[in-house]
Every structure is written in structure tokens, then in C-alpha cells.
């Protein structure tokens, strides 16, 4: 229970500081209720990440009506694939929080290997979807989408990493 609360607090802080207070409010347990499940936390974080990402994309892309009609459904599919990777990352953080005090060498190695794997999977995902975006947008605009997405992801990863204690 204590570890779950620590995870909820961690994610709530991440959301509040990186994306406004929406998800933090959604996952903050009320005095008379029990703490939300990991799945509820993931859902709230994901909703904020997607909303923030789509809003920033919309503000930084100048799309014609025809381009927008083609782009946004493709972008939503892209976000769905990103969710799987991000959910695994947040679950990995939960696992780390649960075992932080008793972490052995194998656990520490598993943590960093999971981070490397996530980075590799995200790079492969972006390479795949750049081609998909090029099917519905001019190349420079598709590249802009990937640049914006990558910047947002790096900012989120810095925020996540700053909240994870270093192994000892």
C-alpha cells in the first residue's frame, strides 16, 4: 500500500509539474477513498500526455483542412502505439519503487536495461511513423511532427528520470 501511494505521488508530481494539475487531481485519492489502481494512474497520465502532445502539435503545425483530416487519425494511431511503450515504462517505475530499498544488482541492471529498451523502441517507432506521416503530409511537415514529438518526449523523459532515485 505504501509503495502504491509512493507511485501515485510520483506520477502525480510528474503530471503536476510537467503537464499542469489535471492528472494530479485525477489520481489524488480523496480522504475517504482508497488509492487509485496503477491502471487508473496510467490512464490519467496517458490522457494528459496525449492531450498536451496533440495541443502542442496543433499549435505548431499549419495544416490545410485536407491535411488535418488525414493527419489527425494517423497521429492518434501513433499515440496508441506510444502508449504501450509509455505504459511499460511507468509500470517499470512502479516495480522499481516497490523494490527500491531492497534492490540487488540484477534489479538495478533490469532497470537500466528497460530504459535502454524503451529508447530503442521509441526510436524504431518514430522511424516507422515518419514514413506514415509522409504519406499524409509533405516531408518537411512530417519531419516537423517528429521533431516536436521527440522534443516533447525528451522533456517528459527528463522529468520522469529526475523523479527516480539513483540506485545505491
Alpha-carbon gap, residue 18 to 32, rounded angstroms: 28
Does residue 136 register a pLDDT over 90? yes
pLDDT, averaged across the chain: 80
Read off the pLDDT of residues 76-90 as tens digits, 9 standing for 90 and up: 999 999 989 988 888
Report pTM.
0.73
Please, which residues have CB within 8 angstroms of residue 19's CB and are 6 or more apart in sequence?
48, 49, 52
Q: Quote the pLDDT of residue 56.
A: 93
Q: Quote the pLDDT of residue 60.
A: 94
DSSP, collapsed to helix, strand or coil, labels residue 61 as coil
How many beta carbons lie within 10 A of that of residue 138, not counting itself? 11
Read off the pLDDT of residues 2-11 as tens digits, 9 standing for 90 and up: 444 444 444 4
Read off the pLDDT of residues 102-125 as tens digits, 9 standing for 90 and up: 889 998 898 889 889 999 999 999
Alpha-carbon gap, residue 18 to 107, rounded angstroms: 28
Amino acid at each position: 500500500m505504501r509503495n502504491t501511494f509512493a507511485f501515485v505521488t510520483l506520477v502525480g508530481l510528474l503530471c503536476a509539474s510537467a503537464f499542469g494539475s489535471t492528472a494530479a487531481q485525477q489520481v489524488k485519492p480523496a480522504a475517504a477513498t482508497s488509492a487509485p489502481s496503477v491502471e487508473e494512474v496510467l490512464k490519467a497520465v496517458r490522457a494528459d500526455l496525449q492531450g498536451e502532445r496533440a495541443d502542442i502539435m496543433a499549435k505548431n503545425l499549419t495544416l490545410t483542412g485536407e491535411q488535418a483530416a488525414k493527419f489527425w487519425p494517423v497521429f492518434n494511431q501513433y499515440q496508441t502505439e506510444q502508449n504501450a511503450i509509455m505504459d511499460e515504462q511507468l509500470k517499470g517505475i512502479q516495480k522499481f519503487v516497490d523494490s527500491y530499498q531492497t534492490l540487488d544488482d540484477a534489479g538495478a541492471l533490469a532497470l537500466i536495461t528497460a530504459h535502454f529498451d524503451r529508447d530503442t523502441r521509441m526510436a524504431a517507432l518514430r522511424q516507422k511513423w515518419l514514413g506514415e506521416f509522409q504519406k499524409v503530409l509533405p516531408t518537411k511537415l512530417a519531419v516537423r511532427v517528429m521533431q516536436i514529438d521527440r522534443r516533447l518526449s525528451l522533456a517528459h523523459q527528463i522529468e520522469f528520470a529526475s523523479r527516480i532515485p539513483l540506485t545505491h
